[in-house]
Copies of this chain bind each other. A is one copy, B any other.
Amino acid sequence: MTDIIRIPKDDLHNVCRAAFERVGVPRDDADAAADILVVGDLMGISTHGTRRVIIYCQRILDGAIVADPEITIDERSPCLAVIDGGNGMGPVIGSRGVAAAVRLAKESGMAYVGCRNSHHFGPVAPYSARACDAGMVSLMGTNTQPVMAPWRGAAVVHGNNPIGIAAPRRNGPPFILDMAQSVVAFSKLRHAHEAGETIPEGWAADADGHVTTDPLKGMKGWVLPIGGHKGYGLALAVDMLSGVLSGGQAATGVNQLFRRDETPQGVSHFFIALDPARLLGAEAYYEQMETFCQTIKATPAADPDLPVLIPGEPEAASMAETLEAGIPMPRERFEDIQRIADGKQPRTMPDQ
Contact = CB atoms under 8 A, between A and B. Distances in A.
Interface of A: 76-80, 82, 108-112, 114, 137, 139, 149-155, 157-158, 165, 167, 175, 177, 179, 183, 202, 205, 208-210, 226-227, 230-231, 233-234, 236-237, 239-241, 243-245, 247, 250-253, 272, 274-276, 278-280, 284-285, 288-289, 291-292, 295-296, 299-303, 306-311
27 contacts: A77-B278, A78-B78, A78-B108, A78-B109, A80-B110, A80-B274, A80-B275, A109-B112, A152-B301, A152-B302, A152-B303, A152-B306, A153-B301, A154-B300, A155-B299, A165-B237, A179-B233, A209-B301, A210-B302, A226-B226, A226-B231, A236-B296, A237-B311, A239-B292, A245-B274, A245-B280, A251-B296
Nearest to A211: B302
- Please classify the interface of chain A as helix (H, G, I), strand (E, B), loop, or mixed, using the class held by over half of its residues: mixed
A79 to B, nearest CB: 5
B236 A175 contact: yes
Contact of A167 (B167, B202, B240, B252): B240
B202 A79 contact: no
B80 A289 contact: no
Listed residue (A149, A150, A179) with the most chain B CB atoms within 10 angstroms of its CB = A150
A175 B240 contact: yes
Contacts of A306: 152
Contacts of A253: 295
A212 to B, nearest CB: 12
A284 B231 contact: no
Contacts of A165: 233-234, 237, 240-241
A302 B179 contact: no
Contacts of A251: 292, 295-296
A304 B80 CA distance: 42
B77 A301 contact: no
Contact of A288 (B154, B167, B244, B291): B244
Contact of A234 (B154, B177, B278): B177
A303 B154 CA distance: 8
B112 A157 contact: no
Contact of A152 (B139, B179, B307): B307
